[in-house]
Amino acid sequence: MAGPVARLGRAYDRLFAAAYDPVLAGPERAGLGRARDTLLAGVSGDVLEIGAGTGANLAHLPSAGLTSLLLVEPSAPMRRRLARRVRERADVLPGDTRVVAGHAAALPVEDGSVDTLVSTLVLCSVPDLAAAIAELRRVIAPDGRLLLLEHVAGHGRTRTLQRAVDPAWRVVARGCRLVRDTRTALDRGGFDTSDVADWTLPGGGFTGPALLGTARPR
Ligand SMILES: C[S@@+](CC[C@H](N)C(=O)[O-])C[C@H]1O[C@@H](n2cnc3c(N)ncnc32)[C@H](O)[C@@H]1O
């Protein structure tokens, strides 16, 4: 029988999923949506998105060029919203579009089989960043691309503020970390990040420092 902590966790998961789109509506209008458009314009081939959430990226995918789309998401309440959005957009998504339960560190695909990986606002939340990056490196095709939009650790006073807020933020934002040096982790994990720009998430505050662009396997 589920204990009270597990029940509370599941109730918070449902609340988080319900609040996600309303909370992001302002940043999406302020530039996050445009950044998704720019980032995803080049999506093609067999595509795998980790932490697809409520499906915020679906409306920003190009209407041609995708062969298949695999949407991996661990949270059941997020997945329900995602599946609904997939159904609503079935006429413009590839026929082979699937929503599956799963984590970035254990992807249900063969080595070197994914042409385009998509990770937007996810690598901050994976429990083990190096393990997730190793898995992305395993599944990406030799000439594949990893499209990234991720908030990361900043510098100076921003980093000091992030360190102070991080313990509470982790709890409120379901494991999200403010102080990750994701570029260094990607470089160490076998990706070339020279086409990944430093960026600022609109309305981000302590989640402002960000990365935006395309990493490639080295
Ligand atoms: C901030 S939301 C981002 C959702 C979506 N990618 C977007 O751009 O709006 C983070 C998502 O990552 C998912 N997530 C958390 N841990 C994960 C993991 N280990 N592997 C894959 N996804 C994860 C969460 O359930 C959540 O849906």
Q: Is the dihedral of CA 89, 112, 125, 148 positive or negative?
A: negative
pTM metric for this prediction = 0.96
Cβ proximity of 51 and 124 under 8 Å: no
Q: Where are the beta strands (DSSP E) in 5-62?
A: 45-50
Domain definitions of the chain by residue range: 4-150+180-217
Please give the pLDDT value at position 117.
98
If you measure from the C-alpha of residue 50 to the centroid of ligand 1, how many angstroms do you get, rounded to a whole number?
A: 7
What is the atom index within ligand 1 of the atom nearest the CA of 104? 20
* Residue 58 in contact with ligand 1 by CB distance below 6 A: no
What is the atom index within ligand 1 of the atom nearest the CA of 73? 22
Please give the pLDDT value at position 1.
52
- The first and second tokens of residue 215, run together, are 């990493």
If you measure from the C-alpha of residue 126 to the centroid of ligand 1, how many angstroms do you get, rounded to a whole number?
A: 8
Pocket of ligand 1, candidates 61, 122, 136: which has the most ligand atoms within 8 Å of its Cβ, to mutate?
A: 122
Give the mean model confidence (pLDDT) for residues 123-152. Answer: 98
Q: Report whether CATH 3.40.50.150 matches the domain 4-150+180-217.
A: yes
Please give the pLDDT value at position 110.
98
Instruction: Name which of 70, 83, 147, 53 is nearest 110 in CA terms.
Output: 70
Instruction: Name which of 159, 144, 146, 218 is nearest 187 in CA terms.
Output: 218
Q: Where are the beta strands (DSSP E) in the chain?
A: 45-50, 66-72, 96-100, 114-120, 140-151, 191-200, 209-217
* Residue 190 in contact with ligand 1 by CB distance below 6 A: no
Instruction: Name which of 104, 109, 143, 120 is nearest 59 in CA terms.
Output: 120
Q: What is the pLDDT of residues 194-211, one digit of tens each?
A: 999 999 999 878 999 999
Q: What is the pLDDT of residues 95-117, one digit of tens each?
A: 999 999 999 999 999 999 999 99
If you average pLDDT over every residue of the chain, what do you get? 96
The residues, any chain, with a CB within 8 Å of residue 155's CB and separated by 6 or more, are: 209
Give the mean model confidence (pLDDT) for residues 37-53. Answer: 97
* Residue 51 in contact with ligand 1 by CB distance below 6 A: yes
